[in-house]
Every structure is written in C-alpha cells, then in structure tokens.
Amino acid sequence: MEKQGVRLQGVGVGQGLALGPVIRMPDPLPEPADVPPSLDAEAEKARASAALATTAALIRHRGERAGGTAKDVLDSQAAMVEDPTLSDDVAARIDAGKSAERAVFEGFATFRDLLVGMGGYLAERATDLDDISQRVRATLSGLPMPGVPESERPFVLFAHDLAPADTALLDLDKVIALVTAEGGPTSHTAILAREKSIVAIVGASGAMDVADDSVVIVDAAAGIVTVSPTPEEIAAVQSELESRAGEVPIPLAPGALADGTPIPLLANLGSAEGAREAIEHGAEGVGLFRTEFLFLDATTAPTVAEQQEHYTKLLSAFPGRKVVVRMLDAGADKPLSFMNVAPEENPALGLRGLRALRANEQILRDQLTALANADAASEADLWVMAPMVSTVEETRYFTRLAREAGLKTAGVMVEVPSSALLADRILADADFASIGTNDLTQYTLAADRLLGSVAAFQDPWHPAVLRLVGEVGRAGAALGKPVGICGEAAADPLLAVILVGLGATSLSMSPSALVGVRAELRRFTLAQAHEFAQLALSANSANEARAAVLEASSALQHTNPTEKVE
C-alpha cells in the first residue's frame, strides 16, 4: 500500500486537475538475443524492409487520424523509419550475420546514441527512435504494438515518457491525465498534451515507483502529483472538479484583463497551414512564426520566390492583424547542412540564431527580401524579429538590414540574460522585443531545456527568470515599445497573468492554450497582476513562487471575486 500523501514534483502542462487510479505503461520489449538467424540474409533483409515499411505506414496513418501538430510530429517519425541511411545500416548488419530483429535493434540504437551526443532538440528525439524501434520489432515478431494499456474505467497514465504516436491518439474518455518521469516542458509529450488539453505533468521524478491502482491527484497548475491522498484532499478535488464543470465557457473575445486592459492573445505557428486552427481558437494574430521549418529538410537555402510564396500564404490569412515572423533560427538543436558546417563542442552557445545568419548574410538578406515582397502583396501588419540577439550592436545590425529591405517594424528576441539586462539600450534601436522564455530559462539556469535529467530547472516560474522578464517590461514601458512573450510560459494561464504584471503587452502561445489563458486573464485586474508579480519575485524558487501566487489568487477569488467581463 502506498504511503498516504506522498507528493511528486514535476512540470505541469496547463492548469488541469484530475483524480483517479494509476495504470502504468507496460515494460518495453526486451533486447533481442544476438543469435544467428534461421533464414538466409536475403530473407532476413526482406523481413526487415517489410517491417520498416509497415511501421512507417502505420505511423503516418496515426498522424492522418490525429491531425494538427500531431500529424507533423508523426510524419517526422515516419520519415525517420524511411531514412535510407537507416535501412542500409540494418541491411549491412544482416549481411554480417545478424537476425532482422537484432539488426533493427542495433541500427536504431546507433542512431539514438548519435542524437543523444548532439544534445538539445535532437537528443530529445532519441526517445522517438526508441519507440520506433519497439514498433518495428513488434511487427517482425508478430507481437502487439507497444502503447497505452486499455481499461474499462478512466485512469491516470504513468510512463517513463510517452511516444508521440501514443500521445496523439489517447482516448480522452479513459486517459484523464498523464504523468511522465522524463521530459521537459518543450518535449513532444508536453507539446501534444497541451494541444489536446490533456491534464499532464512531465519530468516527475519517482513517477515509476508508483504502483498500479494507486489513487492520485494530478494538479498541473502546481506541478504536483499527490499519491494516495487523504479523504479530505479527495473531497476538495471532487468539489473543485464539479465547480469547473459548471463554468460557462469564455467567448472568443479579444484578450483582456478584468478591468478592460487589453492583452492581445496571439498564436505560435510553424507553418501557414496552422492559420485556420489559430483563428478558430480566437487568435488575434501571430506572435511567433518559426521560419526554420522551411529550411530544415533542405540541402540548400530555399529561393526568395519559394519563401515569398509561403510567407504570402501566411500573411493573407491574417488581413489587418499583426504577424510576427522570426528570422531563421539555425544552429544548436536545429543545425542546417548549408549553414552550420563546422562541428561545435557546445552548439547551444555557438553559432546559432542571428550569429549564424551574419555568417551567411545573403541568406538573411534573401529572407528579408522575400518577407518584404510578401508584405507588399498582403494586408497583414508584418513585424520581423531576429533570434538570439545578445548585444546592442547585433540589434543595430539587424534593424538596419530590415529597414534597408523596406520592412517597417523590426525587433529582437530576448532569449539570453545579456539582452534582458540591456533591454533599455536594445529597445532604443529596436521597435519591439519578444521574450522567448524557453531559451531565457535554460540560459539563466544553465540547464538544457530539452534534457530530462535537468527538467526541474527548466521552470519559467523561477524568480531569476521573472526578474529578467521584468527588466524588459520596464524598459518597454519607459520607451513606449511593445514587449511580447512567445515562449511556452505564455501558455500557463496563471503565469500569463504574472507576465502581464511584469510588463508584457501581448502573449503568444500554441492555439489550443488560448482559451484557458483568455479565461484566466479575465479573472484579474492589472493592479492584481502587479501584486502577483511582486509575490513571485519575492520567492526563492519556482515552486515557492507558484505556491505563493496560487494561494493569493485563490484567496482573492474567494473573498472578493472579480466581476466577469461579458
């Protein structure tokens, strides 16, 4: 029997709350024995080839069923399976005397180790390769696909981590919450959980020590899993869940605080295809358009005409609305063969973002030209910004090139402490700043934002991170320059209120998070947002900051509830 009241701390996704019994993901397939195959090499290679093709097709089918971001993620997984380098590696191992099962196991393991060694975003994809390997080997052996267990009753799913193929198609009538021992707030698990509005906590150390059928409370807002809660705790959660179920949905009105202070709510997008979903969720524009997805699979930079076509499609979907486009953010976790040639010992601190663009200035100039052409062909309000700006000189360099290209609004991303600390000087030259909280948190706390072992440090509630956000907010207010937030922190409803209290004038997030953030903003006034921000800044840790603001906001709502804006 579990000890009553044990609490596990992780990183919550959203503000959901759930109560239910635990079911753990089944153990993975064991490592196949390294014994000679019973068939000849050609027959083994045919088996392996068929299993790879079948697995890729099944993953793509899941993506088609899931749609949205999940489809993009699963298409990427299927492309991994179809990589000719991988199939050649497997065939070579079979020629050397391995069975198809063993060759697949070793081939995927080799690629996995390669990604882990690269660190950052690519290291996070190592988990995807583990899942694919399991699926191919299950196909070879005629075993059931690994995945989420089935149950007749609703349950809380516990796992080391959850593969995108499983997250995308979770039965939300049965899986009421998700808890993983690994992963960070920007892992595929967290991103897909947020998109599907799944109550989730990732990076919860000790999660796999919790036994099946244990009753747990999953509080995503606090990032806490309570194992074997007391009867009083259960009753309190049941009452809160009943209260939430009776709430009237907030209409898709513009973002605003309870006192009417406007806070535009924008969408983070990676392609023009996401525009429709963003608009359906009430996005007032785009706060971050990630252009690197046009470049990632290319061996050469796309032409001005190719880029212009894509940008025009995006801008045309938002006539009269603001669209903020981030210039190519290459390097570190997103290396490009035609830009990042020399290997780096620590690529996260190397030639990335604007640094990489300056080293390849024609690519930057072409991108600015394509954006200027698209701007002329549409009615959107186009803003452009440079990634990973760390100095005043870099700011002046980028804004000069943007204006030479004919672009009227040029700003910078604030993702490193130096740019936050120099925000008053940077904003003297830039038209606006957009804070990328994912990178700002990792650089402030020296913790890789995609590495599960340090996920506890990757928490934008940390007072050190919030203090830097406040520096940018004050500079923006003093100079009359807009300050947006486009990192995952903006998707945390209560933290969004804090960010506004620190000076953020707009918030951008994944489209699915817009409804929850819109509702939370309408609960509080600007004065209350300032009070909460000071509470968070006075704390000594992320957990203390979160707990203090949660307590204050709950007390405020119970003693002097804010009148809702109709």
Q: Is there a single domain that holds both residue 351 and residue 306?
A: yes
Range of the domain at 109: 41-141
Q: Is there a single domain that holds both residue 211 and residue 333?
A: no
3-state secondary structure of 433: strand
Q: Is there a single domain that holds both residue 271 and residue 397?
A: yes
Check 462, 486, 530, 558 and give the catalytic one: 486
Q: Which of these, 157, 82, 76, 88, lies nearest to 122 by C-alpha position?
A: 76
Q: Which residue has the higher pLDDT, 457 or 358?
A: 358
Catalytic-residue membership of 188: yes
Q: Is there a single domain that holds both residue 328 and residue 358?
A: yes
Residue 535 forms part of a structural domain: yes
Q: Is there a single domain that holds both residue 406 and residue 553?
A: yes
Residue 371 forms part of a structural domain: yes
Check 61, 160, 188, 310 and give the catalytic one: 188
Query: b/e for 105-117, b at 16 or more Cβ within 10 A?
Result: bbbbeebbeebbe
Q: Is there a single domain that holds both residue 133 and residue 156?
A: no
The pLDDT tens digits of the residues spanning 404-434 come to 999 999 999 999 999 999 999 999 999 999 9
**In contact, 102 and 110? CB cutoff 8 Å:** no
Q: What is the CATH number of the domain that holds 339?
A: 3.20.20.60
Residue 566 forms part of a structural domain: no
Q: Is the dihedral of CA 87, 91, 96, 99 positive or negative?
A: positive
Q: Is the dihedral of CA 182, 186, 192, 195 positive or negative?
A: positive
H or E segment at 509?
strand 506-509
Residue 392 forms part of a structural domain: yes
Q: Looking at 100, 122, 141, which one is the last position of a domain?
A: 141
pLDDT for the residue numbered 450: 61
Q: Is there a single domain that holds both residue 226 and residue 295?
A: no
Q: What is the CATH number of the domain that holds 227?
A: 3.50.30.10
H or E segment at 81?
helix 68-81
**In contact, 133 and 109? CB cutoff 8 Å:** yes
**In contact, 267 and 246? CB cutoff 8 Å:** no
Long-range interactions of 511-514: CB distance < 8 A, separation 24+: 511/195, 511/267, 511/274, 511/277, 511/278, 511/280, 511/281, 511/283, 512/194, 512/195, 512/196, 512/197, 512/281, 513/14, 513/194, 514/265, 514/267, 514/281, 514/282, 514/283
Q: Is there a single domain that holds both residue 331 and residue 205?
A: no
pLDDT for the residue numbered 332: 55
Task: Tell me the sheet residues that pair with 22.
Answer: 156
Residue 480 forms part of a structural domain: yes
Query: b/e for 462-484, b at 16 or more Cβ within 10 A?
Result: bbebbbbbbbbbebbeeeebbbb
Residues in contact with 304: Cβ distance below 8 Å, sequence separation at least 6, in sequence order: 366, 369, 370, 373
Q: Is there a single domain that holds both residue 312 and residue 211?
A: no
Residue 296 forms part of a structural domain: yes
Please report which confidence band the pLDDT of residue 1 belongs to, taking 50, 70 and 90 as the band edges: very low
Residue 565 forms part of a structural domain: no
pLDDT over 70 for what percent of the chain? 87
pLDDT for the residue numbered 468: 98
H or E segment at 485?
strand 483-485
pLDDT for the residue numbered 564: 42
Catalytic-residue membership of 486: yes
HSE at residue 132, side-chain half, CA atoms within 13 A, is 32
Residue 31 forms part of a structural domain: no
| Joined tokens for residue 492 | 């945390």
The pLDDT tens digits of the residues spanning 289-307 come to 999 877 766 778 889 999 9
The pLDDT tens digits of the residues spanning 308-332 come to 999 999 999 999 999 999 999 876 5
Task: Tell me the sheet residues that pair with 414.
Answer: 435
Q: Looking at 111, 141, 171, which one is the last position of a domain?
A: 141
What is the mean predicted confidence (pLDDT) over 15-39?
A: 89
User: Mean pLDDT for the chain?
Assistant: 87
**Interatomic CA distance for residues 161 and 307, integer angstroms:** 36
Q: Looking at 216, 245, 274, which one is the last position of a domain?
A: 245
Query: b/e for 419-435, b at 16 or more Cβ within 10 A?
Result: bbbbbeebbebbbbbbb
Q: Is the dihedral of CA 552, 556, 558, 561 positive or negative?
A: negative
Residue 559 confidence (pLDDT) above 50: yes
Q: Is there a single domain that holds both residue 90 and residue 45?
A: yes
Residue 565 confidence (pLDDT) above 70: no
What is the mean predicted confidence (pLDDT) over 14-41?
A: 88
Count the residues in the chain.
566
Q: Is there a single domain that holds both residue 17 and residue 62?
A: no
- Running DSSP on this structure, what letter comes out for residue 291? G
**In contact, 421 and 449? CB cutoff 8 Å:** no
Which pTM does this prediction carry? 0.73
Number of domains in the chain: 3
Q: Is there a single domain that holds both residue 215 and residue 357?
A: no
